[in-house]
């Protein structure tokens, strides 16, 4: 799951308008010791999602929903107190597909990323 999140972030990064939290997730993904901070990063991303929803910015909404799922998945991997819902990691791929579509990218690239073997 971690490799897939990293590769999806790298796939989306050149195509987004705003990458502050995407970049923070990218730095976090390879540093297992930082995953507990994903809980707070989720909160920051959630505020951005709500602003994008108010602005009806569907591209930003799709990006931030993907980011939210990634942050939740990373935090839950810590097995810390007060985890997000157990199904949180299962939302990474569907949200990545929506993000790809909203950015005008080939959704099969997402499928290839998540089905590639290590």
* pLDDT digits 0-9 by tens, 2-13: 999 999 999 999
Rounded to two decimals, the pTM is 0.95
Binned at pLDDT 50, 70 and 90, residue 118 comes out as low
* pLDDT digits 0-9 by tens, 52-78: 999 999 999 999 999 999 999 999 999
SS3 84: coil
Q: What percent of the chain has pLDDT over 70?
A: 98
What is the pLDDT at residue 86? 85
* pLDDT digits 0-9 by tens, 72-117: 999 999 987 777 788 888 999 999 999 999 999 999 999 999 998 6
Buried b / exposed e over 51-76, threshold 16 CB at 10 Å, is ebeeeebebbbbbbbbbbbbbbbbbb
Mean pLDDT of 11-19: 97
């Amino acid at each position: 799951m971690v490799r897939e999140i990293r590769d999806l972030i790298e796939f989306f990064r050149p195509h987004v308008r705003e990458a502050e939290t995407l970049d923070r997730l990218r730095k976090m993904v390879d540093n297992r010791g930082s995953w507990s901070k994903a809980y707070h990063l989720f909160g920051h991303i959630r505020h951005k999602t709500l602003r994008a929803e108010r602005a009806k910015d569907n591209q930003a909404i799709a990006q931030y929903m993907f980011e939210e799922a990634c942050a939740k998945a990373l935090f839950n991997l810590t097995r810390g107190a007060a985890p997000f819902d157990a199904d949180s990691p299962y939302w990474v791929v569907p949200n990545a597909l929506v993000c790809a579509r909203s950015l005008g990218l080939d959704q099969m690239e997402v499928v290839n990323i998540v089905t590639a073997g290590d």
